Structure 1
Amino acid sequence: MRLPGRLWPDTVASRAILILFAALLAFHLLGYWAFRVGVESFASAGRDGSLAERIVSIKRAIASIPDGAERDRVAHDLSSASLEVHWSKVSLVLGNVPATERTRRMEARLKQFAPDLAAESFRVGLADDGGAATERHLMLVSIRLDDGSWVNFSSSALGAAQHLDWSLTAIMICFAVGIVVVALLLLRWATRPLRDLALAAERFSLDQVPHPLPEAGPAEVRRAARAFNTMRERIQRLVAERMQAMAAVSHDLRTPITRLRLRSELLDDEAARRLIDADLGEMEEMIDSTLEYLRGGLSSEATRRIDLASIIETIVDEHLDLGHDVSLSGLNAAPILGRVLPLKRAFTNIIGNAVKYGVSARVSIAEADGRFVVTVEDDGPGIPLADIERVFHPFVRLEASRGRETGGSGLGLTIAQAIARTHEGSVALENRAGGGLRVTVSLPRLGHPPAPTSR
């Protein structure tokens, strides 16, 4: 049976500690059982054997005295803290008292340790349960003498169970806690390479200077670190080679496009020239978009402190200059750590899509939970729920609102999402209740929270 994830520890160190704790618990329980069964049995046997021998010796000593008064005095003199002795005319153990499991077991043990008692007439019983609390567990033994009188013995130690010494338990607990603490420290030291490997994998980025992961620790961890370093080198080499190949293809394609554009200028048909120029412009845009997609949001530009609000305001102003219905509201400053050109490309794609497919665009900048949230809303037809995730796939163009007549290569949202992820951000799409699409971009903030304004 598999435990739920919230109950089962999630790290190697915690699981190892749990296993170690379970093993220690089993070891202590086994030790406790061995103590009770072995040590207690041995101690009880020795104690009961000694008391049985004393009982036989005292009985013989009293039986050798003819005078009753002298017998009672001798009995008191032979008493001790662990065994009280009395001589009387009657037995303290009534003959009609039913035997219990404990009395039968004690009777058998007395006959085992003192074979002389087997031929004697003796009774074994417990003190009356109605007596004092200290007397309720007294074991009573009455032995009949030849003249009909009785020697009565009472002892709380006779047949008593050995109880666990709490000081021994405390020592065992201290040892267990010490072992767990030392094991925890050693496990944290041993699993540190695993944590470094996980951290390196989380921070892996193609646009960063590669820093090989130290190949240290146990053999399995060294092997995993070596495999990770090799994988990162292969990925970076593959991406670099792909980018070089695409750059070469882009250069080779731009040359005939430029020649075609020059030749179109020689055409006398103005309408045909405009159509050819539009097709050539679309081809150039497709080449640029494809290269940007293959770059995966990466850029040679260094990461630095920038103002996201200024970048978005620049894009909005460009659309306003073209006569588009675009508005901007919210924060007037949004400091983040990022790259200007990739972010400008991402928000150009998002706002451009809103203007192209939704007629208008309403852009707002806000802050929530230490992140800047940029929302772009339009009044277009929106996107079917089944296609919300699919539009992030490369070269996906929805025929209902993104037909060939609107242009585009189906890479705008793909590129925007890749750029947002390289900035530890995200892009989400949602259809508005009143119609239209809402695009939400979340990026981590930097610095103090800015004051909200409206423009």
Structure 2
Amino acid sequence: MTPPAKRLWPDTVASRAILILVAALLAFHLLGYWAYRVGVENLATAGQDRGLAERIVSIKRAIASLPQAPERDRVAHDLSSASLEVHWSKVSLVLGSAPMTERTRAMEARLKQLAPELAAESFRVGFADDGALGAGEANAYKHVMLVSVRLDDGSWVNFSSSALGASQHLDWGLTAIMICFAVAIVVVALLLLRWATRPLRDLAIAAERFSLDQTPQPLPEHGPVEVRRAARAFNTMRERIRHLVAERTQAMAAVSHDLRTPITRLRLRSEFLDDDATRVLIDADLSEMEAMIDSTLDYLRGGTSSEPMRPVDLASVIETIVDEHADQGHRVSLVGLSSAPVRGGVLSLKRAASNIIGNAVKYGQAAKVTIAEAGDSFAVVVEDEGPGIAPADRERVFHPFVRLEESRGRQTGGSGLGLTIALAIARSHDGSIVLENRAEGGLRVTLSLPKLSASGRDELPLA
């Protein structure tokens, strides 16, 4: 870790946010100064254009006041300058057949705005590179603006200038440049904010991926002071949770072991009873007690298991469970895919599927199991013929020890942990369980698990 004295960047979220804001404001101030300078230059150029437009009007008046052609031509040459070349001629320098372009129309409107007197005169505007002057590719006026003003006797005063109209598109260019600068500032600010808040995103991702059945990887403790403290607290909290769950599971395992001893003694003593009916009832109660202990231990583990995660053929697991129920005389059927490779624990997945299918057989009298693809997942759909579950109870039924009296009565047995354990196992495998009532009656339970990647299929043989 870099010592605080050697840090070049601020060390807190607040100071980094302030730095980003100051940098953005500084950039905007520099942009505003640049825009001001360009605006001043634009005003200066506009003034120059107005001066040239006024010169066109004054030169036209001066030449029109001369009666002789040689004098007109001489005065036109004398009044020429570096920025405005003037010629007097019997013909217009701008061809009357020259095509009108958007640039030509804009320049004509600009001249009328700068020199209102021209609005009442007959004049032509064109650009040499737009074909306004038919003198071939090598003429001297190429890439300049041409203006021809007709005098009362039908002759023309022709002007050519490369300065007039040079800034006619400057406003659009300035707008485009300002937009580009604004976009660049926003992009830079976003990148800086993403860099500053990356440790927070890592913390959020680590919290979302937290699972008790995986070896925890400590969250890197870097970034600003607040983020480092949060990461350190998260790592500590995760270890405390793991220790708490482990201690609770060990305590329950010890209690279950202690309970199994008297249960075993009671089972042995029941064998000496002469009343067969009483013995059967006692054995059933003892079996239910053992099942409740096992279910409670599975619930306390939160879906975790010590078995390794490896490629598993979910279809084979489901087929085994269906065959077991069929051998017991239950109405169970299986259709759909014959292979559904996923990654997980065989025993855990078998426990989750057994709970779902067992519920369908116990409370719905029958179970139709379908294995199908659902995008990037495999879906195991279990449909029964029972009364279903009310919409208000579909979330509550996943809570531990919840039993719905209408369809989950005490006479059916169970501890109210079947769906709770199944959901915990599904979530530990990045899957989900969805409950919905069928239109024709009964409950539909959908267990979804992500497909095994192509690389994972070759990792180990499928179970």
Q: Per the shorter chain, which TM-score range?
A: 0.5 to 0.7
Mean Cα deviation higher: 345-354 or 237-246: 237-246
Give the aligned partner of residue 131 of structure 1. 123
Q: 1:261 to 1:76 in 2, by over 3 A?
A: same
In structure 2, the residue matched to 1:121 is none
**1:393–1:171 distance in 2 versus 1, CA, 3 Å:** closer
Following superposition, the deviation at residue 401 of structure 1 comes to 1.9
1:331 maps to amino acid: L
C-alpha displacement at 1:374, in angstroms? 1.5
Amino acid at match of 1:79: L
Deviates most, 229-238 or 405-414 = 229-238
**Aligned residue in 1 for 2:243:** 237
Query: Is the Cα–Cα contact under 8 Å of residues 321 and 350 in structure 2 kept in the other structure?
Result: yes
- 1:82-101 correspondence to structure 2 within 5 Å: 82=83
- Residue 80 (structure 1) aligns with: 80
Which of 30, 33, 36 lines up with 1:34 in the alignment? 36
Deviations 1:207-242 (A, max 9, x none): 111111112234444344333323322322222222
For 1:5-404, list aligned pairs within 5 A.
30=32, 34-35=36-37, 37-44=39-46, 75-81=75-81, 82=83, 125-128=117-120, 130-134=122-126, 162-165=167-170, 189-404=195-410
Aligned-residue offset at 1:131: 2.6
Contact 2:57 2:117 in 1 (8 A): no
- How far, CA to CA, are the matches of 1:132 and 1:307 in structure 2? 85
Kindly tell me: are residues 68 and 423 of structure 1, through their superposed partners in 2, closer, same or farther at Cα, counting changes over 3 Å? closer
CA shift at 1:344, angstroms? 1.3
Distance 1:41-1:408 versus aligned 2 partners, 3 A rule: same
Whether the 8 Å contact between 2:295 and 2:417 is mirrored in structure 1 is yes
Q: Give the C-alpha shift of residue 159 in structure 1.
A: 10
1:427 and 2:429 correspond? no
Consecutive unaligned residues of structure 2, counting only runs of 5 or more, are 1-20, 89-109, 128-144, 150-156, 458-463
One-letter code of the match for 2:79? S
SS in 1 for 2:123: coil
Q: How many residues align?
A: 386
The code of the aligned residue for 1:399 comes to E
| Residues 1:164 and 1:281: Cα distance change in structure 2 (over 3 Å) | same
Contact 2:292 2:415 in 1 (8 A): yes
Q: Secondary structure at the match of 2:117?
A: strand
C-alpha deviation, 1:404, in angstroms: 0.9
Equivalent in the alignment of 2:421: 415
> Would the alpha carbon gap of residues 295 and 129 (structure 1) be closer, same or farther in structure 2, given more than 3 Å must change?
farther
Computing the radius of gyration from Cα coordinates, the structure with the larger value is 1
Answer yes or no: is the 8 Å Cα contact 1:395–1:411 preserved in 2.
yes
Could you tell me whether the CA contact under 8 Å between 1:126 and 1:137 is conserved in 2? no
Give unmatched runs, 5+ long, in structure 1.
Answer: 1-18, 88-101, 108-123, 141-151, 451-455
TM-score if structure 2 supplies the norm length?
0.67
Maintained 8 Å contact 1:106/1:159: no
What is the identity, as a one-letter code, of the residue corresponding to 2:123? Answer: G
Distance 1:129 1:27 in 2: 47
In 2: Cα distance, 1:336 partner to 1:153 partner: 86
What displacement does 1:280 show?
A: 2.2
Distance 1:416 1:55, change over 3 A: closer
CA distance in 1, matches of 2:49, 2:123: 25
Q: CA deviation at 1:444?
A: 1.8
Q: Distance in 1 between matches of 2:148 and 2:33?
A: 30
Distance (Å, rounded) in 2 between the aligned partners of 1:434 and 1:106: 83
Aligned-residue offset at 1:328: 2.2
Aligned residues of 1:24 and 1:176 also touching (Cα < 8 A): no
> SS of the residue aligned with 2:289?
helix
CA distance in 1, matches of 2:146, 2:298: 91
Query: SS at the partner of 1:398?
Result: coil
Farther off after superposition, 299-308 or 34-43:
34-43
C-alpha distance in 1 between matches for 2:390 and 2:47: 85
Cα offset, 1:302, TM superposition: 0.8
Distance 1:174 1:384 in 2: 58
Mapped to 1, the partners of 2:317 and 2:84 lie a distance apart of 98
Identity of aligned residues (%): 64
Question: In the aligned structure 1, how far is the partner of 2:332 from the partner of 2:114?
Answer: 100
In 2, Cα distance between equivalents of 1:325 and 1:352 = 11
Conservation of the 8 A alpha-carbon contact between 1:139 and 1:159: no
Q: Which residue of 1 aligns with 2:450?
A: 444
- Show CA shifts across 1:381-434 (max 9, x none): 222233222211221211122111111111111111111111111112222232
